[in-house]
Amino acid sequence: MNGLLSELKKVESTTMSNYNHNLIKIHRNYSFEELACVLGAHKNTVANWVKDGLPCLKEQRPFLILGTDARVFLKAQRVGKKQKCKPDELFCMRCKAPTKPAENFVEYTALSATKGRLTGFCVRCECVVNKFIGSESLERYAATFDLTKPTGLRHINDSNNPL
């Protein structure tokens, strides 16, 4: 039982730990193993970061991670939870940071009478970013963003075609 507990603690401490991004040299490229070694992390942890959006060069093997990218990524991870979106930002799960939507373009989807979702594309990684808002703040966002509301979404308009 004790062994299991300490095993669990270990898992916790590795998932929660803050890796020291200052150990990474900006002008170097790292394979997953090398980066893991420098930070005292597991190779799988590095693979997970890549899944989470850490950029990596996949043209050849081993895949290489730029030192600058790794630093930026780990720094962002560290402060990720404290970062709040400004009114003109949406939160990117991939970058783990607030981001501006590409072209300042967002789409509004009503989810209910009072709630909806803004969807755009992260200006950095181009993945989809969402923000859930109350419909009462829609006008405010319309002033901030280039906002569109999709039309004709499975909306059967009887009056349109009486035949």
Shortest separation between residue 154's beta carbon and Zn ion, angstroms: 29
Q: Which of 28, 43, 117, 124 binds Zn ion (CB under 5 A)?
A: 124
Could you tell me how far CA 80 lies from the centroid of its own chain? 10
Structure token pair of residue 137? 């703040």
Nearest to 135 by CA among 107, 116, 118: 116
Q: Rule CB under 5 A: is residue 90 a binding residue for Zn ion?
A: no
Structure token pair of residue 22? 């200052």
Q: Rule CB under 5 A: is residue 80 a binding residue for Zn ion?
A: no
Q: Rule CB under 5 A: is residue 122 a binding residue for Zn ion?
A: yes
Nearest to 99 by CA among 66, 78, 126: 126
- Of the ranges 27-35, 40-48, 94-102, 147-155, which one interacts with Zn ion (CB under 5 A)? 94-102
Q: Which of 94, 133, 138, 142 binds Zn ion (CB under 5 A)?
A: 94
Q: Closer to Zn ion at the Cβ: 29 or 96?
A: 96
Number of residues that bind Zn ion (CB under 5 A): 6
Q: Closer to Zn ion at the Cβ: 43 or 124?
A: 124
Could you tell me how far CA 94 lies from the centroid of its own chain? 2
As a whole number of angstroms, the distance between CA 91 and CA 80 comes to 10
